[in-house]
Structures are given as structure tokens and as C-alpha cells.
Structure 1
Amino acid sequence: MLIAIPLAILLKDHHKIAEACLQVAGIIQTIPSLAILGLLIPIVGIGTVPAVIALVLYAIMPMFQNTYAGLTEIAPNLEEAATAFGLTKWKKLQRLELPLAMPMILSGIRISLVMIIGTATLAALIGGGGLGTFILTGIQSNNNTYVIIGAILSAILAFFFSWLLKFISTNTHRMRIGLVAILILICGFGGYKGYQAIRPAPTKVVIAGKMGSEPDILIHMYKDLIQQEDPRAEVTLKPNFGGTTFLFKALQSNQIDIYPEFTGTVNQQIIKTNQKTGSDPQKTYRLAKRELEQRYQMRYLKPMQYQNGYALVVSSQFAKEHHLTKMSQLASYNNEITAGFDPDFYQLHDGYPGLKGPYGYDFKNVKTMEPTIRYKAIANNRVNVVDGYTTDPQIPQYHLKMLKDDRHFFPPYQGAPLMKESFAKHNPKVVKALNKLSGKVTTEEMQQMNYDVTVKKESAAKVAHRYLVQHHLLHK
């Protein structure tokens, strides 16, 4: 409002400049919101700031257009009468133009308000939080309840603010009361922030996770262990935060403090050794730890026990028809295969590009899709091969067949907390707490926890807490 409405007032008598501004605002309006968020990340980072900038850009067009139209469509005879009575330009704006244009201005504000409340759900994709987190979590965990909660609450919020704006704009008295209420809220928020600034600063930790149930479980384990070690710690979780590259850049730019990363992913996607990772888990971890420390001044804590390695998965029917048990047998049916791969797997050296050499793959059709969607696709016979992980609960859920990696292509993938060396030095209690997970959690235990979240619809927080208590890592 502070940008669009004054700009429209300034340009109401400069039609060519106003039309140019309308064109620019219209072009911004047509750019997909995800593209704007992507363009803003390298400039201002991730989180709330790029989300707010994107929402401001989207809100300008309706308010500017309606304000400009309301001010320029006033009957000429009324303008002439105001001039004849000797009103100055400012008095004319105050007593004639703004009151007559007010219905159009308020209409523009309402349109912008409703539109950006819906668009704001996308902020969850870049760590901005909000109701979009429910929707994203529901999609990733195959839980429609979360999707419905996020969608309904967003709709209720939009309807409520639309009604509130209409209610307070019906007369001057209500508008004054509304403005006073807004000022009280602003002062209260400012006082709260001031109190936070002067009180003793607690340990603040921001933990993010990749898409899916498993990273969500891990970050909740991290949170419980850290708060047990340091009760004053304020831990903020950002689940379903994005892919490897996105999270690593967020860690580098101090947008987050910790995230769980896998040894094989570090070697192939972050430090990019450009050579096949060995099959020894300890050597793989040592290489990842050394390179992260030397190149990026990051500390990679000791990994957990379980292996969450890649695997190729086919439907039971496809496996039965072609007598498939090993990955090497797939190359014989390249012309029949439509594959659905996670975007990371489609690009990684340890993924599909690397498989082409030793296994001779050249599938007829390859589609990229998000992890949960690819399992639905193979269950509905939209694809017949997908990439998976050894701990994925969807494999038993959909009665799928995991093919044996008979040429030992896939490297070890063990998860461990990754953080900056400077953060680790300043927060020894956090490091001590997270080291309790070293060597813990078997592959079977992680698959069961994933099953509890994805299939049984239990919350990741509850599943993580239960495991820690049962294995005496956390007090009840």
C-alpha cells in the first residue's frame, strides 16, 4: 500500500508514465512466483525476506491499477467545480478525489490481500514457513489431512481478512477504530522484539531437513537431544526445506545451522570427486569429513549405523513378467522402460548418469518427479522403474520389488549432522547432544519409523521421541 497508492497519486496526471508502470507491474504479475523466489535467493538468501519481497511485487499491480483508475475516472465537471471553488491541488485530492476513489482503492487492497494469502503458501518451499508447511508436509508424507488443513486455513484466513477490510471500510468510525487496533498491534510487536533484544540471549539453533519423512524424523531427534542437553536452547525446525544444493547453500550463508546429510551425497554432489565412491562406509565418511573441513570449514559429525543407499525398484508384475531380480537384467528391456526418478538421482554421478556405463542403461523414457509422487506413479502403472532408498516404507506398502545391485555400483549412504566449524566451536553442547546418535539406528529401525510416519500417519515428532526414549537416549 505504501508503494502502490502514493505512486498512483503521483502519476495520476502523467498518463504515459503511469501506463508504463502498469505494464511493468503487469509483467511482474505474469512471472511464476516460484521463478521470482528462485531469482531472489542468490540476492537476499532464503526464508522470510525473499517471500515478503515476492508478495510485495505481486500485491502492487491490483492496488496501483485500482487507485489510478479511481483517481482518473472522476467526472470532469466535478474536477472543474473544485477548481472553480479555489481548491488547491492538495485540497482537491483530500476532499474530492480520494473520497470518490476510495471504493476502488479498497477493492484493489482486498484483491491483493486475498491473492497474496494464497501465494504466501509457497514460502514454505524456501524456508519461509507459514501454512504452506502443512501442505508441503502432507504431499511429502502422503498425508491428505495436512494438505486439507493447510488449504482450509489459508482459505479461512483470506475470507476473514477480506470480510474485516470490508467491515472497517463501511464508515469512518470503524476505519478509525481499525487503524488504532493496527497501531496497537504494531506497538505490541515492537515491544516484544525490544524485550527479546535486551533479555539474555539463549542458544538459537535452526535445523533444516530435506524432503520426506526420514529427514523430518532426524531433525526432530536432533531437536529433542539438543533441548535435553541445553534446556535454554531455542530450536527452530524447517522440515521439507529442499534438495541438497539448496540446503548446503543455506548452511553456507548462515540461513540454517545444521542439517542431516549423507556420506555418498557429500562425495558426489557437494565435494564432487568426479570419481566413483568406494564401497567402504568408513573410507567414504573419512573422505567426506576431510574435504568438507578443508574446502568449506564445516564439521561433519559421526554418522548413524543405517545405510540409506539408492536402489532401483520395479513393480511386482513387471519383475514377474521379465524374471527380474538383479539390476543388470534391466538393460535387456531398455526399450520397454519408462522410469520415474527423483531430480537428484537423475543428475548425480551415483545416480542414473553413472549407471549407464556399468549397467548399459538407455531407458526409452525418463521422467523426473518428487519422491512421494514417483511411488504413486509406479503403483498406478504410470512408470515401471523408479529409484528408491533401502529404508523407504513404500516398497513393502505397494508390494514393489527392489533389484539387487549385483555390480556394487551404489556407494554407502550414512546420515550425519553437518554444520559450520564456527558454529560447532561456539556450541559444544549441541555437538555433544548430536554425537549420541553416532552408530545408532539400524536400517530396519529407520524403515519402520518411516512406515509409521508415511503409512500409519503418525507425526515425525512423536516417532522420533518414541525411538529416543526406547533406546535410553532421552529422558521421558
Structure 2
Amino acid sequence: MNLWERRIYFLNLAAEHLLLSLGSLVAVTFLGILIGVFVFYSSKSRKIILPLINFLYTIPSIAMFGLLIPLVGIGLKNALIVLILYGLLPMVRSTYSGMKEVPEQLVEAAEGLGSTPTQVFRNIYFPLALPSILSGLRITVVMIVALTGLAALIGAGGLGQAIFRGLNTMNTGLIVAGSLGISLFAILGDQWIGQFEKKASLLHLISKNATPKQKRRIIFPTVLVLIFTLGALIYLNPLEKENSKTIVVASKPTSEQFILGEIIAQRIENNTDIQVIRKFGIGGGTTNIQPAMLSGDLDVYVEYTGTAWLNVVKKDLPENHLIDFTKLGKLYEENYDLKWLGLLGFNNTYGLAIGKDHPESQSITTYSDLAARSKDFIFGAEFDFFERSDAFPGLKKVYPFHFKSLEEMDINLRYQAFKQGKINAVDIFTTDAQIKRLNLKVLSDDKNYFPSYEAGIVIREEIIKKYPEVEKLLFDLKGKISTEKMQELNYEVEILKKSPAEVAQEFLKTLKY
């Protein structure tokens, strides 16, 4: 599917990006100026507020999104808080610095003429500090537009979703389109504020001395911004969504999850009048989705039994590493008011692989073989694999790996690193499309370390009570996707460059009920 055929998708993302960026910018502008003025007049608060804002700015934005999830969940609220916090530093600094640089003799002269403190602020401090404030605002605009791209990781939408989806599905077109869209927003925002900055010293924005042409150069782009904002509000119509019958379908940030999310969404859309809101590609996977399910921000998604057992209910694996699905389902219902609607039919467990063309490929067939020769290999895997107790930390206790080096990277970049020769051993999932494409040799887990990671649909029980017809619709997907079929669907998205929506639609047409 080419980019033109996805124009509605990009229009949605652009509208979301505009509203989120502009809403954050308005809040940051007012709060930043107010705090900047306050710290200028209050030396005691200055010693606390400025260092605090500086400290918040040092926290990586991705970490900040994650830290707020237990407090406010995922989505719009989380994104707004983070964007506002990050935007405060340049606004507070520029306001405070602009007022501090006002010549003292001008202030003394105004006070000598009988001006009140309010009049001094209105007629001296603020007009002279305005160029500095607007300079800080230009920086803030570009920064907020860029950071809004990261908000897609927590389901807040925006053009960043296209970038992350492109990374997850190895679609360069999506990455470029999303990046260009964000860059265009940033450039236009910078130019818009620049018009105010150029005229600030002459007009103070609304000076009577301004010529009609000068006023038009400020008013016209501002009116355009307001028109586009109103258009985005009408187009997205959040009030209608809030009052209508809706279900929020979520997914983790992988091709497989995008496809499965689309299968669920389209299954509901095709058979009910319920509106589906897609929150796909949520960063952190289960770590962020599970709390959002409990808070009601998300309603349904696909989970894996091994992940659920070890990372959600936090139980030790049985000796045979076979997870009791019935027991898992009961624990979910009793502890979380969540229900598993059967298993889809495939097992996407962890695995380790090397290239079939590696010199030692013939003699290495098991994990034990790889461990014995691990000093000759550079092992690469996603951050999650090195962190999870059921992944590399536990794997090392069973197999004595001593790799030449370990390379941590985004889950969607590890195959690219393998292709470029930066690593020569990699963790895989058994349904990955790249196994075939890169001619990988999947090794045997001879000590049966990894448990089964069978995929199943998890839904909030409240949603089942609200929309009972959905339970049967999704339960009917039980056993309909084999491991081989899932690998085939992933291949269509990652290699043949079909969209997850298209692949899901074609798959659903093949089902017989």
C-alpha cells in the first residue's frame, strides 16, 4: 500500500499532532511566562524553582513518559504533562533573563515619575523582555513539535506513530513521511513565532504604529493556525468519540502485534456498530499496557502466556516449563478483572540464531554448542531481552554464555545490525519473518529453558459486560492462526511491505465460521 492510499491515516496523525503540540504550547506559554515573572520578583522561590526545572529537563523524555504511566496512565494526559514540563525550561529562562536584562535606570526613572509596580511591569519590564520571551518561545515550539513525535509510544497519537510503525514493520516510506511531517510542523511553527519576534520591539505585538502590512504579516499566519486547529478539532471530533460506543484496541510495538491488533479491530468493526480506537505500537509492551488495562485506558490486546506468567502474575515456571493456561486465566480474572478469550493457535517463543553461512554453523546446532564457542560471537538483542528475568539474565544461569561483546538495541533494529555484520548471533521470535529473509539458523534449546509464549486475546471484563457480543466475536478467533501462518503474515508486512490493515483484512476473508 503506497502513501497516497494511506492519506486518511496520515491526515488523522497530522490532526492529532497539531492539537497535541498546540495545546501543549498554549499551556507552556502561559505557565512559563507566569513562573518566569514570579521567580524574577521572588529571589527565595528562584533558588528552588529554577534548579527543579533544570533537573526535570535532564530526565530523558522517554523515561518521563514511562514514569508517569503509574500515575496518569497512557495517552493524552501523560503526553500533555511531559510536553508541558519539558517546555517550561526555555520559557521560564527566557522570561526571567529578559526581565533581568532590563536597564535598572529605566526602572528607577519610571518609579521616580510615580509609576506603580504594576505599571512598571506593564510598561517597562514586559515590553523590553518580550524579544527574549519570543526567542525562547521559538525554541519551545520546535522542541514541543519534536517531542510530540515520541508521544506515540504511549498511545497519544501524532505523526510519531508513522515513524515507529515504519521502524516496527521495516517500512522506510512511513519513517520518511512521518519525519517530514514533523519537520514541516516544526519549521512552520518556528516561522510563525518568528513573525512576532521580528516585530516585537517595534509593535509590542499590537502597537498603533504598525502599518497594515506589518499587522497582516502577524495576523494572517495566526488566523491560519486557528483555522487549521478548528479544522482538526472538527475532523477528529473527540466529543463524539467520548459519547459513542467505543473499544480501545492496543498493541505492542512489533509487526506481529500491529497485525493482530488490526485483526481484532476489524473483526469488531465488521460485525458491530462499535467504534474501535486503535492504540498501536505502545512502547514498553506489557510493562505499560498492563497498567493501562487496569486503569481502563485500554480495553483489549494480544498477550503471550510466558510473558503473562512471569511478568504479570509473577509466578515461577513449573519444572517442565509448561504453563497451565487454565490457572493463568483464573489468576487474571481474580486479580485483575481481565479475561483471556482463548489462544490464537501459535507459539511465538524466544530463540537464538546464527547465520547459516557462518564458518561454524555446521557444528553449532544447540544453545550449548553456542555457549561453548560464544567467545567468537557478538550477540545482539533488544533492551527488553537483557532486562527480563525470563530472558538473558536467566538464560546465562542455564547456559554459560561468554560472548565477545553484547550489543543492546531497539527490537526492530537487531536484524538490520545482523545484516550489516555488526552482530553475528541474535535473539529471535519463532514467528519472525526475518528468519527466512536473512537465512538464519535457529538453534535448539536443548535444556528447554524458554517457556511457551502462546498468543491469546486479553480483554477487560467490564467491556464484556458492556458489549457481550464482542466476547463471542473474538473467542471465535481461537486456534485460527498457526505459527507458520503468523510467520507468513509477518512476512507480508515486513518483506512485501503490505500494511497491517491490508494483511488483516485479507486474513479475515479466509476464515470460515
Provide TM-score, normalisation by structure 1: 0.88
Match of 1:258 in 2: 300
Asked if residue 229 in structure 1 is aligned to residue 271 in structure 2, the reply is: yes
TM-superposition CA deviations, 1:107-130 (whole Å, max 9, x none): 111111111211221212222221
Match of 2:129 in 1: 101
Aligned to 1:56, the other structure's residue is in SS state helix
Asked if residue 150 in structure 1 is aligned to residue 175 in structure 2, the reply is: no
Is the contact made by 1:212 and 1:240 (CA closer than 8 Å) also made in structure 2? no
TM-superposition CA deviations, 1:186-224 (whole Å, max 9, x none): 889999999937x99322111111121000000001110
- Flag the 1:65–1:411 CA change in 2: closer, same or farther, 3 A: closer
Match of 2:56 in 1: 28
- Flag the 1:133–1:181 CA change in 2: closer, same or farther, 3 A: closer
Cα separation, 2, equivalents of 1:395 and 1:379: 11
Aligned to 1:340, the other structure's residue is in SS state strand
Match of 2:370 in 1: 330
Aligned to 1:312, the other structure's residue is in SS state strand
Match of 1:274 in 2: 316
- Flag the 1:201–1:278 CA change in 2: closer, same or farther, 3 A: farther
The 5-angstrom pairing of residues 262-341 of structure 1 reads 262-276=304-318, 278=320, 284-318=324-358, 320-321=360-361, 323-341=363-381
1:371 CA drift (Å):
2.4
Aligned partner letter, 2:255: S
- Flag the 1:370–1:180 CA change in 2: closer, same or farther, 3 A: closer
Match of 1:49 in 2: 77
Aligned partner letter, 2:453: Y
Cα separation, 1, equivalents of 2:319 and 2:168: 29
1:422 CA drift (Å):
2.1
The 5-angstrom pairing of residues 59-208 of structure 1 reads 59-168=87-196, 170=199, 171=203, 172=206, 173=215, 196=239, 201-208=243-250
Provide TM-score, normalisation by structure 2: 0.82
Cα separation, 1, equivalents of 2:389 and 2:93: 50
- Bigger Cα displacement from structure 2, 210-219 vs 50-59: 50-59
Is the contact made by 2:39 and 2:49 (CA closer than 8 Å) also made in structure 1? no
TM-superposition CA deviations, 1:34-88 (whole Å, max 9, x none): 2322322222222221221121112112222222222232233332332333322
Aligned partner letter, 2:144: I
Match of 2:17 in 1: none
Is the contact made by 1:274 and 1:349 (CA closer than 8 Å) also made in structure 2? no
Aligned to 1:386, the other structure's residue is in SS state strand
Which of 441, 445, 448 is the equivalent residue of 2:485? Answer: 445
Match of 2:415 in 1: 375
The CA RMSD over aligned residues, in Å, is 3.0
Is the contact made by 2:66 and 2:288 (CA closer than 8 Å) also made in structure 1? no
Is the contact made by 2:155 and 2:279 (CA closer than 8 Å) also made in structure 1? no
Cα separation, 2, equivalents of 1:207 and 1:106: 41
- Bigger Cα displacement from structure 2, 309-318 vs 444-453: 309-318
- Bigger Cα displacement from structure 2, 327-336 vs 386-395: 327-336
Cα separation, 2, equivalents of 1:194 and 1:338: 51
Aligned to 1:452, the other structure's residue is in SS state helix
Match of 2:498 in 1: 458
Aligned partner letter, 2:457: P
Aligned to 1:424, the other structure's residue is in SS state helix
Structure 2 segments unaligned to the other structure (5+ residues): 1-28, 207-214
Cα separation, 2, equivalents of 1:250 and 1:110: 34
- Flag the 1:168–1:351 CA change in 2: closer, same or farther, 3 A: closer
1:381 CA drift (Å):
2.9
Aligned to 1:275, the other structure's residue is in SS state coil
TM-superposition CA deviations, 1:338-397 (whole Å, max 9, x none): 322334444555533444455554545444333222222222332332221221111111
Cα separation, 2, equivalents of 1:12 and 1:348: 47
1:253 CA drift (Å):
1.7
Which of 400, 408, 414 is the equivalent residue of 2:440? Answer: 400
- Flag the 1:452–1:14 CA change in 2: closer, same or farther, 3 A: same
